[in-house]
Amino acid sequence: MPALDSSILLAFLQAGKEPVSGDRLAKDLGVSRVAIWSRLERLRQEGFVFQASTRKGYQLVQVPDRLHESLLDAHLRLLKVRESVELLETIDSTNSEAERRLAAGQEAPFAILAQAQTAGRGRLGRRWHNTKSGNLYASLAFRPFIPPDKLKPFTLWMGLALCVAIENHCKLRLGLKWPNDLQAPDGRKVAGMLTEARVDSDSVRELVFGLGLNLIGQPKDFPTEIRQTASSLQHALGTSLEVHATIAHILAALFQAWDEFYEGGWERTFKSRWQRYDVLMGHSVRVGLRGDPIAGIVEGIDAEGSLILRTGGGRRKVVSSGEVTLRKK
């Protein structure tokens, strides 16, 4: 009974540190006191700890480390997120699953989350490494019906929304490395983004925004080849992280960011957000994707999200896509 579990857990979240009466819960939810007791016992078996207080009720004092669908749903309801969010155990790729569901006609927007991916992918065909359960593997799906040229700043805008949400909720200021990486304050990568779209001649018909975010992994959890360059929010914070609340705040922010992008309101804060979270401004970089790499000093981005470089010859070069590496001084 996931819906009942979600409603019970929502009542505990709303109560904060105050005890919740079992009798009151039963009355508010329209079930018997025995049904409430039975669900609390089941939730205990799943890793929740409830502390009983004589004649006062129960307090929720501990939640599972592993992602729990009903608890995540309760946090989303607390934030009034109305879009469909589904948590799966294991999937090949959340982006692929979102694409399949769009093709099957599922109403959008919606989000697909997974405990683990067997074929998660990043930009340029790379695989996204899966670490300890509790990290965020998610894809948000939309049917925008907008001209393709209006989509260019989309990934950067969503990345900036992520930075704002994490700073507000976790008090951790990340940086956005053009075009699709989020970095911890020490420069290690904590997240990657991948936007995929089905585009007709004059319209973006289907749009999927994929996110892989390391929430609780430690550097030792990563493969040797990325151990020096990857991190997680928990490691960057240096303290524990409640993943359900964090994920709910992130999803709420991303859905809101989509609404602002679709309606056009994003342009009012795009520049100021970029100036706050950009990590490349003024740095000497090399950008390569196809053909010869381009080297230069980063001078920011233009209104469409393309990178502006000042090359060695003093020329201004605008780059719309590519892989950025910092050049050694």
String of DSSP letters for 273-306? HHHHHBS-TT-EEEEESSSS-EEEEEEEE-TTS-
The answer for residues whose C-beta is within 8 angstroms of residue 16's C-beta and 6 or more apart is: none
45 contacts: CB under 8 Å, gap ≥ 6 = none
pLDDT band for 270, please (50, 70, 90 cuts). very high
Q: What is the pLDDT of residues 271-303, one digit of tens each?
A: 999 999 999 999 999 998 777 889 999 999 998
188 contacts 120 by C-beta, under 8 angstroms:
no
Q: What is the pLDDT of residue 218?
A: 79
For residue range 164-181, what is the model confidence (pLDDT) as tens digits?
Answer: 999 999 999 999 999 999
Closest Cα to residue 154, out of 308, 281, 257, 251? 257
Q: Which residue has the higher pLDDT, 17 or 250?
A: 250
Full DSSP string of 140-172? EEE---B-GGGGTTHHHHHHHHHHHHHHHHH--
| Domains of the chain, first to last | 2-62 (1.10.10.10), 69-277 (3.30.930.10), 284-326 (2.30.30.100)
pLDDT of residue 232: 93
Phi-psi group of 235: left, alpha or beta (phi > 0 → left; psi -120 to 50 → alpha; rest → beta): alpha
Distances (CA, A) of 59 to 7, 32, 138, 294: 15, 19, 31, 59
30-34, 40-44, 309-313: the lowest-pLDDT one: 309-313
* Amino acid sitting at position 186: D
Can you tell me the mean pLDDT for 36-57?
92
Task: Extract the tokens encoding 41.
Answer: 């016992």
